[in-house]
Structure formats: structure tokens, C-alpha cells
């Protein structure tokens, strides 16, 4: 099960977030900071899966943007890893060559994520 889906840039600013389980707003900010901190501390030789608290983070980096998915431990990490890429491909198709360093317009991206 996916718990949340995040897009965060290297500066730690959230670009897109979607929670599939309710989390209080102030806890969200804390969680996001911790998540991006643990993603930034990883090098490219290290694996893309992080055991984080009682769930797992699966992340992929596209230029300065991190896409992080939080899942519970019943999930197949590699499937999620590829799912992220699939998501990016779809975005790419829809917005025709998005430059990932610029920001997305929020509602359109949400349209994908939410539906």
C-alpha cells in the first residue's frame, strides 16, 4: 500500500504531496523534512530504498527533483521504483517535455496524481 507520494526539490521545498492516509498538517512538514534529509544523505552507489520508521521510502532523483514514495512493507520495492518512472514518463508526455527543474503548475499535476 502506498502511504504518500512526494516531490521535493534539493532545497527541501515540497513541490507536490499527496497523502493516502490522513496525516496532520504540522506532522506532514516534519515528515517531509525528515524524508528529504534521508534521501539527500544517500549516494548514487547506495540503493534507492530506505527503511524509514515503520515504513519504506522508495525514491528516484530527476535532476534536482526527488520523487519519494512511502509504502508499507508488503510492497514490492522495484515495482514502485518503476512506477515512479512511469509516472514521470506520463508527466513528460502530458506536459510535453517538462523541464523538471522548473516547477509544475500544481493543479494539473494533481490531476494525474489524484485520479
Partner 1 sequence: MSDIVEKTLTALPGLFLQNQSVGGPAGVKASFSSRLGGLVRGITALTSKHEEEKLIQQELSNLKATVSAPTTTLKMMKECMVRLIYCEMLGYDASFGYIHAIKLAQQGNLLEKRVGYLAVSLFLHESHELLLLLVNTVVKDLQSTNLVEVCMALTIVSQIFPREMIPAVLPLIEDKLQHSKEIIRRKAVLALYKFHLIAPNQVQHIHIKFRKALCDRDVGVMAASLHIYFRMIKENSSGYKDLTGSFVTILKQVVGGKLPVDFNYHSVPAPWLQIQLLRILGLLGKDDQRTSELMYDVLDESLRRAELNHNVTYAILFECVHTVYSIYPKSELLEKAAKCIGKFVLSPKINLKYLGLKALTYVIQQDPTLALQHQMTIIECLDHPDPIIKRETLELLYRITNAQNITVIVQKMLEYLHQSKEEYIIVNLVGKIADVLVLNTVDTYAPDNAWFIQTMNAVFSVGGDVMHPDIPNNFLRLLAEGFDDETEDQQLRLYAVQSYLTLLDVENVFYPQKFLQVMSWVLGEYSYLLDKDTPEEVLTKLYKLLMNDSVSSETKAWLIAAVTKLTPQAHSSNIVERLIQEFTISLDTCMRQHAFELKHLRENLELMKSLLPVDKSCEDMVVDASLSFLDGFVAEELSQGAAPYKPHHQRQEEKLSQEKVLNFEPYGLSFSSSGFTGRQSPAGISLGSDLSGNSAETGLKETNSLKLEGIKKLWGKEGYLPKKEGKTGDETEALPVPQESIIMENVDQTITKKDQCQVLTQSKEEKEKQLLASSLFVGLGSESTINLLGKADTVSHKFRRKSKVKETKSGETSSAHNITCSYFSSSSNATYEDDYYLDTLQDREDKELNKFSLNSELLDSESLTELPSVEKLSNCKLSSPSLFTDNNMEGFHPSQPTAPSVANETSLASSLLEETSEHMHSDLVEVCHNETISMSSYKIWKDDCLLMVWSVSNKSGLELKSANLEIAPAEYFKITEQPGCCLPVIEAESIKTFQYNVQMEKPFTDGNLTGFINYQMMDTHSVQLEFSVNLSLLDFIRPLKISTENFGKLWLSFANDVKQNVKVSESQAALSSALKTLQQKLRLHVVEIIGNEGLLACQLLPSIPCLLHFRVHGDVLALWFRSSCSSLPDYLLYQCQKVMEGS
Residues 89, 112 contacting (CB under 8 angstroms) = no
Q: How far is CA 49 from CA 8, 34, 79, 92, 105, in A?
A: 16, 15, 12, 24, 28
Decide whether 24 or 97 has the Cβ nearer to partner 1: 24
Residue ranges in contact with partner 1 by CB under 8 A:
1-2, 5, 13-14, 16-18, 22, 25-26, 28-29, 32, 45-54, 71, 75-83, 86-87, 90, 94, 103, 105-107, 110-115
15-39 burial, b at 16+ Cβ within 10 Å, e below that, comes to: bbbeeeeebeeeeeeebbeebbeeb
* Smallest separation (angstroms) from partner 1 to the CB of 35: 13
Between 97 and 105, name the residue whose CB sits nearer to partner 1.
105
- Of residues 54 and 97, the one with the C-beta less far from partner 1: 54
Minimum Å gap between C-beta 48 and partner 1 is: 6
Query: Nearer Cβ to partner 1, position 43 or 97?
Result: 43
Rounded Cα distance between 86 and 81, Å, is 9
Amino acid at each position: 500500500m502506498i502511504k504518500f507520494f512526494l516531490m521535493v526539490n534539493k532545497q527541501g521545498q515540497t513541490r507536490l504531496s499527496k497523502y493516502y492516509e490522513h496525516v496532520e498538517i504540522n506532522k506532514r512538514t516534519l515528515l517531509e523534512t525528515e524524508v528529504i534529509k534521508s534521501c539527500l544523505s544517500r549516494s548514487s552507489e547506495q540503493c534507492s530504498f530506505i527503511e524509514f520508521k515503520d515504513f519504506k521510502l522508495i525514491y528516484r532523483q530527476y535532476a534536482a527533483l526527488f520523487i519519494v514514495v512511502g509504502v508499507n512493507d508488503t510492497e514490492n520495492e522495484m515495482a514502485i521504483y518503476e512506477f515512479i518512472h512511469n509516472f514521470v514518463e506520463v508527466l513528460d508526455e502530458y506536459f510535453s517535455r517538462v523541464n523538471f527543474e522548473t516547477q509544475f503548475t500544481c493543479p494539473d499535476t494533481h490531476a494525474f496524481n489524484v485520479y
